[in-house]
Structure 1
Amino acid sequence: MPPPSASDDDAGLARAVASRSAHVVHLTHNDLDAVGADAIHRMRFGDDGVFTIWSSVGKFPSLFALIASSPGKGDLLSISDLGCQRDTAATAARARANGWVIEWRDHHRWREEEIAGVRNTVSLLHIDTEVCATGIVAKDLAPENPLAAEVARVVCDYDLWRHADPRSAVLGEVLQRKKNREHVRDCLAAGVFSDPIIEREYAEIQAEMGTMMARSLSHATFLGKKYRIVFAPLYGYPSETAHFIRKEKGTDIEVIIGKDGKFSIRSVPPVSHLIAREFGGGGHPHASGGSFSFTVVERFTWWLFKKSRHFDELVKVAEAL
Structure 2
Amino acid sequence: MEDYYAIVHNDFDGTASAAVYARAVGYLPKNTFFTEPTRLHNFLNKLELRGVKKIVLADLGANGSTIDQVTERLSWIVSQGVEVEWFDHHVWKQEWKDKVTQAGVHLYHDTSTCGAGVVHKVKNPQDEFSSKLASADCSVDIWLHNDPMGEKLRRVVENSPDYSWKLHLVETFFKGELWNDEFQKILEDKIDEELKGYKKLEKYFKVIDIDGKKVAIAIRWRGPPDISYASQYIMSRTGAVVFVSANGKSISFRSSTYEIRRFALEFGGGGHPLAAGAALRVPALHRFFRRIGIRKFMMNWVTTRVEQAVKKAGFQEYKENRAMSQ
**TM-score, structure 2 normalization:** 0.79
TM alignment of 1:95-244, pairs within 5 A: 95-100=73-78, 101-179=83-161, 180-226=165-211, 227-232=213-218, 233-235=220-222, 236=224, 237-244=226-233
Asked if the contact 2:117/2:134 (under 8 Å) is kept, the reply is: yes
TM-superposed deviation, 1:241: 0.7
Other structure's SS at 2:111 match: coil
1:126 partner SS? strand
Q: Tell which deviates more after alignment, 96-105 or 191-200.
A: 96-105
Q: Does 1:89 align with 2:89?
A: no
Query: Alpha-carbon deviation of 1:290?
Result: 2.7
| Counterpart AA for 1:191 | G
Tell me if the contact between 1:104 and 1:122 (Cα under 8 Å) persists in the aligned partners. Answer: no
Deviation of 1:243 after TM superposition, in Å, equals 0.4
Matches within 5 A, 1:25-104: 25-44=5-24, 49-55=29-35, 59-70=36-47, 72=49, 75-100=53-78, 101-104=83-86
Aligned to 1:17: none
In structure 1, which of residues 247, 251, 254 is the aligned counterpart of residue 236 of structure 2? 247
Q: TM-score, normalised by structure 1?
A: 0.80
Give the equivalent residue in structure 2 for 1:6: none
Partner of 1:272: 260
Where in structure 2 are there 5+ consecutive unaligned residues? 314-326
Encode CA deviations 1:31-79: one digit per residue, 9 max, x unaligned.
3222211112332456652422223xxx422233331354556743322
**Alpha-carbon deviation of 1:278?**
4.3
Supply the distance in 2 between the matched residues of 1:94 and 1:71 (Cα, whole angstroms).
16
| Residues 209 and 118 of structure 1: CA distance in aligned 2, closer, same or farther (over 3 Å) | same
Choose 1 or 2 for highest CA Rg: 2
SS in 2 for 1:178: coil
The percent of aligned pairs where both chains have the same amino acid is 21
Q: Could you say what the CA RMSD is over the residues aligned between the two structures, in angstroms? A: 2.8
Question: How far did residue 218 of structure 1 move?
Answer: 2.6
> Structure 1, residues 81-102: CA drift from partner, whole Å, max 9, x if none?
2222123320232212332443
Summarize deviations over 1:152-185 as a string: whole Å, max 9, x none: 2332334344444432221122223234533333
Aligned residue number for residue 7 of structure 1: none
**Separation in structure 2 between the aligned mates of residue 69 and residue 162 of structure 1, nearest angstrom:** 36
Q: State the one-letter code of the partner of 1:53.
A: F
Could you tell me which residue of structure 1 aligns to residue 273 of structure 2?
285
Name the CA shift for 1:315/1:273 in 2 (closer, same or farther; >3 Å).
same
Give the Cα separation in 2 of the matches to 1:30 and 1:178: 12
CA distance change for structure 1 residues 97 and 185 in 2, over 3 Å: closer, same or farther? closer
Query: How many residue pairs align between the two structures?
Result: 296
**How far is 1:262 from its partner?**
3.3
